A and B are shown apart, each in its own frame.
Chain A
Amino acid sequence: MANVRQIVVDIISDIAPDEDVTNLDDSVSLREQLDLDSMDFLDIVMELRKRHKVEVPQEDYPKLATLESCVSYLTPKFVTA
């Protein structure tokens, strides 16, 4: 079973290397804790596709708002992937 939280954190630290991702609060929106804009969310989605063949349609981008919501939204996709 993939560690979805770690997968997302790894992607964030690659696309925003200057951000400190060690003390993220899983229930608080990522945008509030990090300097991420819509371009960065596109990159998270693109990296999920590239590295893990997981597709996130545009209308579901809001489901990536917090680490918690990322895990609950993405985990089923990793199971079937």
Chain B
Amino acid sequence: MKYDAIIIGAGMSGLAAGIRLGMFDKKVLILEKHSIPGGLNSYYQRRNFDQGGIRQFDVGLHALTNFIKKGEKGKPFSKLLKQLRFSYDEFNLCPQTYSKISFPDCELKFSNDFELLRSEVFEKFPKERDNFQRLVEKILSFNELDLSQGHLSSREILKECLHDELLIEMILCPPLIYGSAWENDMDFSQFVVMFKSLYVEGFSRPKGGVRTIITLLMNKLKEVGGEVKFKTSVSQILVNDRGEAHGVVAEGREIFAPIIFSSIGYPETVKIASQNFFSGFSPRVGAMTFLESIFVFDQKIPLKMNDSTIIFYNNDKNYRYESPKNYFDPTSAVICYPDNYEPNLTEGEGVVRLTYMANYDLWHKLSREEYLPMKERVSDNALELVKKITPEFQGKLLFKDTFSPLTIERYTWHLNGTVYGSIDKTKDGRTPVKNLFIIGTDQGFLGIVGSMLSGISMANLHGLMEAP
């Protein structure tokens, strides 16, 4: 069978790229190793340990970033809707209440109205008022989509604009943990993308969670004639003597296409392509990976105890965004209260999700006997933190689950369980192998909205405009 394009991976970027190519009559095949789509933001179900019934969970999805109101134009999310031909209402977005960055002696709230963050900064850091304004202007006028931008350190640029170390740390915290492959810093273009998508535009969640997004993508892909094969692992990318990719080996079968898009990560892609074309170049695997604990209670946490949607929590003097020395770093966490996307619903179970930074190597070395107790330890720690934030909450814990860097690696095949991929990105998607392009996380756009936009823009650039 011959295809116009093969896409490796049915995550957000692969599905979006597939839709774009299919829309313009390209015969496209998506190959996915897992039995379901979604990749790093997929879904699963669990039977309860004591109370009956099956519960549905999302992997991740604290927040869909880049919130827009219906009719808002010229924003990343409105571009995504147009490019994939979705209507705004199909996503059924429930906006956040507000979120906060919580450090030992200071708290900054932000919401889907940027003025909240601005006024919080003015109030809590009055001396930084003008500096912050200048920083915001610099960010808003920066062209983060210029794919030819070199790497700049966000920390350096923030230090040029702001003087207060605490403010710098606080402003950096959410962008780092929502999207940096680097430790303790991020590329300034990426920071600008994150600043706009988190602080200026904000958070929402589709009703129904990640399944809503995946169902929309899968239906659209089908509509435009795209094909997906699940449980189909690509073990090799075929490259001819001219250095051009021309097909893949999947489950022992050769499948040919003049263009290959890979969403599995840059180092992961190099691993299955003929090494000699990379002449020694090997993108580095990132160090950042995470643990997540999920708790289900028999009732929702009342709004008067906590009405925020996401808390970027840090309990130490400094905020460290780095692979921890221990199994996980209990001093900081991201705590998500998904119920507060629909604060009017008071009936039903309550859910809290909590993410910690984790050390992959240590988890990897655990024996089978040590693994479950270690997950238990994480879960206990996380539950303590939830109680610390809402001490008066009396809800009964019905269910808990924790996934580790090993879980991420096992179900997404990202080396070392990385979520934000390699520290080396290829902004234009090109690789040393002709007709082989990187999409998604390691092209440089990440998160749910980012990876879809990556798939769209790479399919446009390499699959439609410069159609081979």
A interface, CB within 8 angstroms of B? 14-18, 35, 37, 39-40, 42-43, 46, 49-50, 58
Docked pose: A40 CA to B457 CA in angstroms: 12
Q: Please tell me if the beta carbons of A42 and B87 are within 8 angstroms of each other in the complex.
A: no
Contact, CB under 8 Å: A39 / B87? no
- Given A15-B82, A15-B85, A50-B24, A42 and B74 contact (CB-CB distance below 8 Å): no
Which B residues are CB-close (under 8 A) to A15?
82, 85
The reply to whether the CB of B79 lies closer than 8 angstroms to some CB of chain A is: yes
The CA of A35 and the CA of B71, in the complex, are separated in Å by 11
B460 within 8 A of A: yes
The smallest beta-carbon distance between B14 and chain A, in angstroms, is 19
A42 to B355 CA separation, bound complex (whole angstroms): 40
Chain A residue numbers with a CB within 8 Å of B79 are 37, 39
- In the complex the two chains form, is B82's CB within 8 Å of A46's CB? no
Given A18-B71, A46-B24, A50-B25, are A39 and B465 also a contact pair (CB < 8 Å)? no
Known contacts: A42-B465, A46-B464. The answer to whether A37 contacts B25 by CB under 8 A is no
Q: Which B residue sits closest to A49, measured CB to CB? A: B24
A16 and B25: CB pair below 8 A?
A: no
Most chain B CB within 10 A, of A15, A16, A43, A58, is at: A43
| Contact bitstring B248-273, A, C-beta under 8 A = 1, else 0 | 00000000000000000000000000
Q: How far is the CB of A21 from chain B (nearest CB, A)?
A: 14
A38 to chain B, nearest CB (A): 9
Number of B positions contacting A (CB below 8 A): 18
Q: How far is the CB of B454 from chain A (nearest CB, A)?
A: 13
Chain B residue at smallest Cβ distance from A15? B82
* Known contacts A15-B82, A46-B24, A49-B24; A37/B464 CB under 8 A: no
Q: Are B85 and A42 in contact (CB under 8 A)?
A: no
Q: Is B388 an interface residue (CB 8 A)?
A: no
9 contacts between A and B (CB under 8 A): A18-B88, A39-B83, A39-B460, A42-B460, A42-B465, A46-B23, A46-B24, A49-B24, A58-B465
**In the assembly, what is the distance between CA of A40 and CA of B83, in Å?**
8
Contact indicator B73/A35 (Cβ below 8 Å): yes
- Chain B, residue nearest A36 (CB): B82
Contacts of B464 in A (CB 8 A): 42, 46
B63-96: which have CB < 8 Å to A?
A: 71, 73-74, 78-79, 82-83, 85, 87-88
Nearest B residue to A47 via CB reads B24
Give A50 to B21 CA distance when docked, in angstroms. Answer: 12
Which chain A residue lies CB-closest to B457?
A39
Q: Give every chain A residue within 8 A of B465 (Cβ-Cβ).
A: 42, 58
Task: Establish whether residues B82 and A16, one from each chain, have CB atoms under 8 Å apart when the complex forms.
Answer: yes
